[in-house]
């Protein structure tokens, strides 16, 4: 165990062509590279890279054994080319047993480990995350362009030891069962892969630039995994559950104890009437946290919901039931649901309701009054209100509607949808001269308790306050 073992990265396949060349098929893309005029030595080295792999020295030996010394430059040329195109993984192997491999996950992946300076101290990056994948443990980080596949528990031991700042010597005393050469290779891999940081003399933590200090672990991981670039996970509308799990229906069915049909405004009268001009609505829109003594009424609530959240048209496609609504939403899937905690609304008894966007009605849910109060209390403290809001609208997501089609970016898409709904509700409320205010952070567990939903299936992702404006 003295050097890294080179192999073709996961998913790369080689195809001999009819003209005697070799095609290299890149994983998850249609990209193929054709290698022409390969010598027999290079062909043998390529076979090694596909099967067991080899160190740089072994690969050069394989080439020169057949091509003579002329093959050395060619071998390095191709290794460099493969590395530049993220076609290689690098492993640590002890007596035929793999310990760890680093695989490229982005086009910016480069692996150039240098000798580990015995005097320097290293600590695991606070962004590094050790978890289980289908075929074993992996170490990943939103700051890294590669992913570490862990094959031996010794590698996990070393990673754990890097929970505090250590040199190679101090690591050796912490994990004496790991030979020094292996520590150096593993640490070299972690340093080159961007999984550990250097800790300066006299400090206990690595120094971070100002931009990085602002990021928390989960936010940076979410950012990198929901955007393309720093991962190779399937992303977008992949329909991974098609023919495996039935998609959630368009309209949520609620066990309502009572329903209240809501007022439907005459849209033609509004469109061709004397509504405020659009630019004025845009300019006037603001968050209002003060209410009049006289509460909002059922007619205003009906108009508000009709103009911001009703289903305008149902679309039955081959895969999923979709719809058209006033606010835009990714894939026209519309996973968001509205629940109303009514504290004060003339014509609507206080309580907890689900809004049915299809039938444009409120569906009363029997919920514990203390829990509804807790929701209203949270909203009050988030907005600095002295009184509970007249109406608290909690926006939940039926996640599976979106996750059924989209992968990697589904949650971020859902949050974007919350944004479009917020803005629509703000504008409608402004046009109606009501008091709107979005809220940023509610208790998703509390919501699930009140609404009686399964947290993983449907929980809250936003809140919105609505009331009659104080004049």
Ligand X SMILES: Cc1cc2nc3c(=O)[nH]c(=O)nc-3n(C[C@H](O)[C@H](O)[C@H](O)COP(=O)(O)O)c2cc1C
Confirm or reject binding of residue 102 to ligand X (CB under 6 A).
no
How far apart, in whole angstroms, are the C-alpha atoms of residue 430 and residue 469? Answer: 10
Least Cα distance to 377 among 442, 295, 462 occurs for 442
Identify the residue among 90, 334, 422, 464 touching ligand X (CB under 6 A). Answer: 422
Q: Which stretch binds ligand X (CB under 6 A): 165-173, 298-306, 402-410, 435-443?
A: 435-443
Q: Which stretch binds ligand X (CB under 6 A): 13-21, 252-260, 334-342, 436-444?
A: 436-444
Identify the residue among 128, 376, 438, 466 touching ligand X (CB under 6 A). Answer: 438
Identify the residue among 24, 139, 437, 450 touching ligand X (CB under 6 A). Answer: 437
Identify the residue among 255, 287, 292, 294 touching ligand X (CB under 6 A). Answer: 287
Confirm or reject binding of residue 383 to ligand X (CB under 6 A).
yes
Confirm or reject binding of residue 395 to ligand X (CB under 6 A).
no
**Shortest separation between residue 389's beta carbon and ligand X, angstroms:** 10
How far apart, in whole angstroms, are the C-alpha atoms of residue 470 and residue 57? Answer: 79
Using CB under 6 A as the binding criterion, the count of chain residues that bind ligand X stands at 9
Identify the residue among 69, 114, 176, 440 touching ligand X (CB under 6 A). Answer: 440
Using CA of residue 322, residue 324, residue 329, residue 331, what is the dihedral sign? positive
Q: Which stretch binds ligand X (CB under 6 A): 195-203, 218-226, 317-325, 438-446?
A: 438-446
Residue with Cβ nearer ligand X (127 or 422) = 422
**Shortest separation between residue 327's beta carbon and ligand X, angstroms:** 14
Confirm or reject binding of residue 439 to ligand X (CB under 6 A).
yes
Q: Which stretch binds ligand X (CB under 6 A): 1-9, 79-87, 192-200, 434-442?
A: 434-442
Q: Supply 209's token pair.
A: 């630039």
**Shortest separation between residue 384's beta carbon and ligand X, angstroms:** 6
Q: Which stretch binds ligand X (CB under 6 A): 32-40, 299-307, 369-377, 432-440?
A: 432-440
**Shortest separation between residue 167's beta carbon and ligand X, angstroms:** 46
**Shortest separation between residue 380's beta carbon and ligand X, angstroms:** 10
Confirm or reject binding of residue 100 to ligand X (CB under 6 A).
no
Residue with Cβ nearer ligand X (98 or 328) = 328
Residue with Cβ nearer ligand X (196 or 421) = 421
Least Cα distance to 146 among 195, 214, 187 occurs for 195
How far apart, in whole angstroms, are the C-alpha atoms of residue 136 and residue 130? Answer: 11
Identify the residue among 35, 175, 382, 446 touching ligand X (CB under 6 A). Answer: 382
Least Cα distance to 342 among 388, 397, 399 occurs for 388
Interacting residues with ligand X between 312 and 351 (CB under 6 A)? none
Question: Contact, 415 vs 285, CB < 8 A?
Answer: no
Interacting residues with ligand X between 44 and 83 (CB under 6 A)? none
**Shortest separation between residue 230's beta carbon and ligand X, angstroms:** 26
Identify the residue among 280, 286, 315, 415 touching ligand X (CB under 6 A). Answer: 286
Residue with Cβ nearer ligand X (183 or 437) = 437
**Where on the chain is the footprint of ligand X (CB under 6 A)?**
286-287, 382-383, 422, 437-440
């Amino acid at each position: 165990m003295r050097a890294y073992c080179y192999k073709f990265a996961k998913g790369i396949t080689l195809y001999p062509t009819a003209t005697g060349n070799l095609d290299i098929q890149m994983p998850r893309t249609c990209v193929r590279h054709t290698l022409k005029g390969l010598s027999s030595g290079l062909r043998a080295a390529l076979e090694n890279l596909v099967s067991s792999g080899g160190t740089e020295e072994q690969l050069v030996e394989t080439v020169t054994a057949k091509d003579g010394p002329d093959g050395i430059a060619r071998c390095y040329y191709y290794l460099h080319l493969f590395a530049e195109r993220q076609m290689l993984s690098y492993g640590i192997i002890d007596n035929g047993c793999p310990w760890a491999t680093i695989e490229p996950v982005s086009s910016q992946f480069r692996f150039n480990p240098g000798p580990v300076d015995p005097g320097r101290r290293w600590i695991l990056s606070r962004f590094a995350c050790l978890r289980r994948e289908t075929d074993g443990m992996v170490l990943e980080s939103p700051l890294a362009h590669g992913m570490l596949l862990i094959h031996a528990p010794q590698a996990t031991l070393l990673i754990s030891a890097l929970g505090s700042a250590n040199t190679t010597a101090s690591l050796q005393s912490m994990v004496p069962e790991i030979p020094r050469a292996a520590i150096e290779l593993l640490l070299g891999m972690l340093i080159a892969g961007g999984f550990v940081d250097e800790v300066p003399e006299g400090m206990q933590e690595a120094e971070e630039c100002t931009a990085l200090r602002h990021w928390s672990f989960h936010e940076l991981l979410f950012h990198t995994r929901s955007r393309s670039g720093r991962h190779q996970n399937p992303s977008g509308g992949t329909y991974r559950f098609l023919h495996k799990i039935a998609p959630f229906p368009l309209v949520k069915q609620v066990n309502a104890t009572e329903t209240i049909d809501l007022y439907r405004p005459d849209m033609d009268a509004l469109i061709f009437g004397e509504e405020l001009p659009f630019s004025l609505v845009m300019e006037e829109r603001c968050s209002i946290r003060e209410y009049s003594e006289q509460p909002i009424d059922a007619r205003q609530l009906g108009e508000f919901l009709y103009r911001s959240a009703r289903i305008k048209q149902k679309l039955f496609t081959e895969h999923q039931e979709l719809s058209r609504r006033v606010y835009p939403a990714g894939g026209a899937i519309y996973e968001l649901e509205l629940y109303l905690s009514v504290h004060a609304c003339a014509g609507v008894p206080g309580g907890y309701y689900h809004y049915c966007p299809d039938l444009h009605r409120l569906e009363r849910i029997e919920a514990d009054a203390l829990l509804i109060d807790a929701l209203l209390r949270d909203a009050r403290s988030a907005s600095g209100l002295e009184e509970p809001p007249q109406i608290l609208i909690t926006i939940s997501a039926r996640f599976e509607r979106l996750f059924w089609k989209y992968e990697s970016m589904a949650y971020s898409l859902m949050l974007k949808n919350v944004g479009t709904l917020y803005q629509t509700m703000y504008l409608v409320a402004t046009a109606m001269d009501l008091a709107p205010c979005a809220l940023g952070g509610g208790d998703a567990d509390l919501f699930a308790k009140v609404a009686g939903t399964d947290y993983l299936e449907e929980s809250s992702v936003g809140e919105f306050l609505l009331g009659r404006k104080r004049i």
